[in-house]
């Protein structure tokens, strides 16, 4: 296999080549006679561009291995440039592939080069000095031994992206660490939003043989290699071929995929589990051949292109906020005020103090509520210490920064005040009038409203230009999206300050027009409304709720209802009905659930599973016009397309990509669908409902 046999199509980006450089290391200083040939991977870029493997990079590594062998070393080692080992395959060209033979060739080339590290006549070592993901970690798995820096993160994220570990990982890892741990790394970690292994995790799982601090990582890794070569250090490798846990491990992986994708049969985890199962008896050659086939099959699917579109979109939006004013216009935020001390307000206070590391003061109607909110924040900081995610010194300092009061005059020196009180417009209007009399003219006043008009809250204010929507998603610390709603009067300084705060909070932001429901709640409420309406019309509840299972959503509509709460869902629906019209219908079933204080549509049974809540079932509207599951599915998709087109025409956001990022990060829309609008385009719904696609052909789909 040569790189010349891989011809990428027109339009594919030029590869940033990762060069493999060889030098000799004399081991005599480490107590062993002989030279170690050390290969260093370096793409010549700064730390913002990690090493990756494209065809030319693999050719460079192949040549480096040949060069290393010509030096007659006692061992060969591979490491990376400072802080980076390798981030895996260069994915930038995959979306441009149009022939299965191309993806087969890329898979085989990676195997041909990497397997040399595991099949040459001298021991090989991977000194994983920094980030090692996908093909980067797989290069290390081909080596005989692995050391990892304490600051390094490693993982196999392929299933998360709609692929499989295709350069040896699916075959080698089960043999190295056993079926249970392999399923954990390849399936469970990937499906859990691409969880990476810390160094201690890699060591505990058996992926790493030793862990060293970064300051003298290379020196200690070389010393480790010398001890292994001399026999002073023995590394035992268990035989997992007869491990009784194979079936249970595979079943656990299958269950995790089923839960993640709402019961839909998604190809990537299914193919990965098959490769893991086959690894029990497969030879290296037969396992690698099977990986090539699986990788080629998956690359030639819309699911892969969808995942790449979503992944690249998320990376792009993390770095740049569309429509944001110049950062220099933003003001310094040295003190934050939080109006309210309930759960949402307390979560806001916690995320603010953890990231801004400035004084945060909370207020509420009485001292008992204030004390409860402050105590919750202090307690969460203490839990972080218990979990060893924060030092006691840091927690002590942050705890001292969070205080409370019943007197809003404590906001007089605040730079940023956010409210999280009850969703009632008149209450928020009154609050803002009171705040305006207290805070400085430069202080930003933000609202965490999910559906009310931000501009309406500013009525009667002398400085409405300082008010902005700052809508978080629950749970605040975990959900990455932040909708920033700018009114017609919000000025650039306020918006720039809000964006600065959002960046400090490590949120992905989308600036929206001040429109009812902004993006996520508007689309989710429309979608949920079509499902509940179908049920009210007489469609069996299970048929309506399961209509979208094949799409792969992580939760069904009624499962989501239990998480959000019928009260919140009804309030948002009523607000959108009032402001956007009768297409947002008010469900009589929802009204009854709220009136009777029924919190969820599903409840746990004695076996720990979930069954319909009899109290909720008894309150369902008895309609006489049932629909089929497919009719409900198309009805919901048509509604989403119609609403998205309206939002773009109204200028709620400026591009379809912003709707996609909101639904990916705010509503859990699956990565494998590539965003809501590419999915509607591929299904033909966009053209059927709106007369045109949202994206150009080829976005998140086969060229």
Tens-digit pLDDT profile for residues 250-301: 999 999 999 888 888 899 999 999 999 999 999 999 999 999 999 999 999 8
CATH architecture of 327-511: 3-Layer(aba) Sandwich (3.40)
| Strand, helix or coil for residue 456 | helix
Can 327-511 and 520-651 be said to share one CATH topology? no
Task: Give dist(CA 353, CA 503) in Å, integer.
Answer: 14
Q: What pLDDT does residue 207 have?
A: 98
**Cβ atoms of 52 and 88 closer than 8 Å:** yes
CATH of 3-300 among 3.90.79.10, 3.90.226.10, 3.20.20.300, 2.60.40.10: 3.90.226.10
Q: Give the percent of the chain with pLDDT over 90.
A: 86
Q: Among 343, 346, 521, which residue's Cα sits nearest to residue 449? A: 521
Higher pLDDT, 13 or 184: 184
Task: Give dist(CA 251, CA 267) in Å, integer.
Answer: 16
Q: Compute the C-alpha angle 576/578/580, nearest 5°.
A: 55
| Strand, helix or coil for residue 208 | coil
* In the chain, domain spans: 3-300, 327-511, 520-651
The DSSP H or E segment spanning 121 is none
Asked whether the bond before 450 is cis by omega within 30 degrees of 0, the reply is no
Task: Give dist(CA 555, CA 670) in Å, integer.
Answer: 10
The DSSP H or E segment spanning 155 is strand 153-155
- This prediction's pTM: 0.89
Q: What pLDDT does residue 1 have?
A: 40
Q: What pLDDT does residue 2 have?
A: 42
Q: SS3 letters for 27-73? A: HHHHCCCCEEEEEEEECCCCCCCCCCECHHHHHHHHHHHHHHHHCCC
Q: How crowded is residue 610: how many other Cβ atoms within 10 Å of its Cβ?
A: 14
- Give me the chain's average pLDDT, please: 94
Of the residues 138, 180, 291, 436, which is catalytic?
138
Task: Give dist(CA 98, CA 178) in Å, integer.
Answer: 36
Backbone region of residue 194 per phi and psi (left: phi > 0; alpha: psi in -120 to 50; beta: other values): left
For 80, list phi and psi in degrees, rounded to 5: -120, 180
Of the residues 14, 15, 101, 158, which is catalytic?
158
Q: How crowded is residue 9: how many other Cβ atoms within 10 Å of its Cβ?
A: 12
Please write the tens of the pLDDT for every residue from 87-96: 999 888 787 8
Is the pLDDT assigned to residue 9 strictly greater than 70? no
The DSSP H or E segment spanning 153 is strand 153-155
Q: Which two tokens stand for residue 604?
A: 């746990």
Confidence at 7, pLDDT banded by 50, 70, 90 = low
Q: What pLDDT does residue 8 have?
A: 61
The DSSP H or E segment spanning 484 is strand 481-486
**Cβ atoms of 349 and 376 closer than 8 Å:** no
Q: Among 305, 298, 304, which residue's Cα sits nearest to residue 104? A: 298
Binning the chain into helix, strand and coil, the percentages to the nearest 5 are 50, 15, 35
**Per-position DSSP letters for 550-582, written without gaps between them:** GGT-SS-HHHHHHHH-HHHHHHHHHHHHHHH-T
- End-to-end, the C-alpha distance of the chain in Å comes to 26
Cα torsion 657, 660, 661, 663 to 10°: value is 160
Residue 446: CA count within 13 A, CB half-sphere: 28
**Per-position DSSP letters for 300-359, written without gaps between them:** TSHHHHHHHHHHHHHHHHHH--TTPPPGGGPPP---EEEE--SHHHHHHHHHHHHHH-S-
Task: Give dist(CA 368, CA 376) in Å, integer.
Answer: 12
Q: Which two tokens stand for residue 660?
A: 């996609």
Q: Among 587, 700, 694, which residue's Cα sits nearest to residue 646? A: 694
Q: What pLDDT does residue 4 have?
A: 41
Q: Compute the C-alpha angle 65/67/72, nearest 5°.
A: 95
Confidence at 11, pLDDT banded by 50, 70, 90 = low
Q: What pLDDT does residue 205 have?
A: 97
Task: Give dist(CA 42, CA 17) in Å, integer.
Answer: 9
Higher pLDDT, 672 or 112: 112
Confidence at 48, pLDDT banded by 50, 70, 90 = confident
Q: How crowded is residue 281: how many other Cβ atoms within 10 Å of its Cβ?
A: 9
Q: Among 64, 56, 63, which residue's Cα sits nearest to residue 8? A: 56
Confidence at 566, pLDDT banded by 50, 70, 90 = very high
Q: What pLDDT does residue 33 have?
A: 94
Q: What pLDDT does residue 608 have?
A: 78
Q: Among 207, 129, 202, 205, which residue's Cα sits nearest to residue 172? A: 207
Interaxial angle between packed helices 566-580 and 520-536, expressed in degrees from 0 to 180 and rounded to the nearest 10: 100
For 640, list phi and psi in degrees, rounded to 5: -65, -45
**Cβ atoms of 587 and 533 closer than 8 Å:** yes
- Catalytic residue flag (residue 236): no
For 148, list phi and psi in degrees, rounded to 5: -135, 135
For 181, list phi and psi in degrees, rounded to 5: -70, -35
Please write the tens of the pLDDT for every residue from 396-422: 999 999 999 999 999 999 999 999 999
Q: Dmax of the chain from CA atoms?
A: 87
Please write the tens of the pLDDT for every residue from 495-525: 999 999 999 999 999 999 999 999 999 999 9
* Pair type for strands 19-26 and 153-155: unpaired
Domain 520-651 = CATH 1.10.1040.50: yes
- Catalytic residue flag (residue 138): yes
Q: Which two tokens stand for residue 235?
A: 């590394």
Q: What pLDDT does residue 6 have?
A: 60
For 397, list phi and psi in degrees, rounded to 5: -65, -45
Task: Give dist(CA 603, CA 175) in Å, integer.
Answer: 41
Task: Let me know if 536 is exposed, middle or buried by CB neighbors in 10 A (0-12, 13-18, 19+).
Answer: buried
Strands (E) across 360-408 are located at 360-363, 402-405
Q: Which residue has the tokens 């190295």?
A: 176
Please write the tens of the pLDDT for every residue from 427-464: 999 999 999 999 999 999 999 999 899 999 999 999 99
Q: Give the percent of the chain with pLDDT over 70.
A: 98
């Amino acid at each position: 296999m040569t790189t010349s046999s891989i011809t990428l199509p027109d339009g594919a980006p030029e590869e940033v080549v990762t060069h493999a450089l060889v030098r000799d290391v004399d081991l005599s200083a480490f107590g062993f006679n002989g030279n170690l040939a050390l290969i260093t991977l370096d793409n010549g870029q700064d730390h913002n561009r990690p090493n990756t493997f494209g065809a030319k990079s693999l050719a460079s590594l192949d040549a480096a291995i040949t060069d290393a062998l010509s030096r007659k070393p006692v061992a060969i080692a591979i490491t990376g440039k400072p802080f980076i080992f390798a981030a895996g395959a260069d994915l930038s060209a995959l979306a441009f592939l149009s022939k299965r033979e191309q993806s087969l060739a890329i898979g085989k080339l990676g195997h041909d080069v990497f397997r040399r590290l595991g099949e040459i006549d001298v021991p090989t070592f991977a000194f994983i000095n920094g980030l090692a993901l996908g093909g980067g970690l797989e290069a290390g798995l081909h080596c005989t031994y692995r050391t990892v820096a304490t600051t390094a993160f490693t993982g196999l994220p392929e299933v998360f992206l709609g692929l499989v570990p295709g350069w040896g990982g699916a075959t080698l890892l089960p043999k190295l660490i056993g079926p249970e741990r392999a399923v954990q790394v390849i399936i469970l970690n990937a499906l859990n939003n691409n969880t990476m292994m810390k160094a201690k995790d890699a060591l505990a799982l058996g992926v790493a043989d030793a862990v060293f601090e970064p300051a003298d990582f290379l020196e200690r890794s070389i010393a480790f290699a010398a001890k292994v070569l001399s026999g002073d250090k023995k590394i035992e490798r268990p035989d997992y071929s007869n491990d009784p846990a194979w079936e249970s491990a595979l079943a656990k992986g299958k269950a995790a995929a089923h839960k993640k994708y709402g019961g839909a049969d998604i190809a990537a985890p299914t193919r990965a589990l098959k490769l893991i199962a086959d690894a029990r008896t497969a030879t290296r050659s037969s396992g690698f051949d099977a990986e090539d086939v699986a990788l080629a099959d998956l690359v030639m699917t819309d699911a892969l292109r969808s995942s790449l579109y979503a992944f690249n979109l998320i990376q792009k939006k993390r770095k740049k906020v569309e429509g944001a004013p110049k950062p220099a216009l933003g003001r310094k935020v040295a003190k934050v005020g939080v109006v309210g001390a309930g759960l949402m307000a307390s979560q806001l206070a916690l995320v603010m103090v953890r990231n801004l590391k400035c004084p945060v003061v909370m207020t509420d109607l009485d001292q008992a509520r204030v004390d409860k909110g402050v105590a919750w924040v202090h307690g969460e900081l203490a839990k972080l210490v218990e979990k060893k995610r924060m030092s006691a010194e840091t927690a002590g300092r942050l705890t001292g920064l969070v205080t409370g009061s019943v007197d809003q005059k404590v906001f007089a020196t605040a730079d940023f005040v956010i409210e999280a009180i009850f969703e009632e417009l008149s209450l928020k209007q009154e609050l803002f009038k009171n705040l305006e009399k207290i805070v400085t003219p430069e202080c930003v006043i933000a609202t965490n409203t999910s559906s009310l008009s931000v501009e309406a809250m500013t009525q009667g204010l002398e400085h409405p230009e300082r008010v902005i929507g700052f809508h978080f998603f629950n749970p605040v610390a975990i959900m990455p999206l932040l909708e920033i709603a700018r009114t017609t009067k919000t000025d650039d300084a306020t918006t720039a300050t809000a964006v600065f705060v959002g960046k400090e909070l490590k949120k992905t932001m989308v600036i929206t027009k001040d429109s009812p429901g902004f993006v996520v709640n508007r689309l989710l409420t429309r979608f949920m409304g079509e499902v509940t309406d179908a049920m009210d019309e007489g469609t069996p509840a299970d048929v309506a709720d399961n209509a979208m299972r094949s799409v792969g959503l992580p939760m069904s509509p009624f499962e989501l209802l239990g998480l959000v709460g019928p009260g919140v869902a009804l309030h948002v629906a009523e607000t959108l009905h009032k402001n956007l019209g009768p297409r947002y219908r008010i469900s009589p079933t929802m009204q009854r659930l709220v009136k009777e204080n029924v919190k969820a549509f599903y409840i746990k049974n004695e076996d720990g599973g979930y069954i319909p809540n009899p109290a909720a079932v008894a309150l369902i509207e008895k309609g006489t016009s049932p629909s089929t599951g497919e009719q409900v599915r198309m009805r919901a998709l048509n509604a989403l397309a119609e609403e998205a087109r309206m939002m773009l025409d109204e200028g709620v956001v400026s591009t379809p990509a912003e709707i996609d990022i909101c639904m990916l990060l705010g509503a859990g829309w699956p990565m494998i669908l590539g965003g809501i609008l590419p999915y509607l385009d591929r299904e033909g719904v966009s053209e059927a409902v709106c007369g045109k696609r949202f994206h150009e052909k080829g976005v998140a789909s086969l060229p």
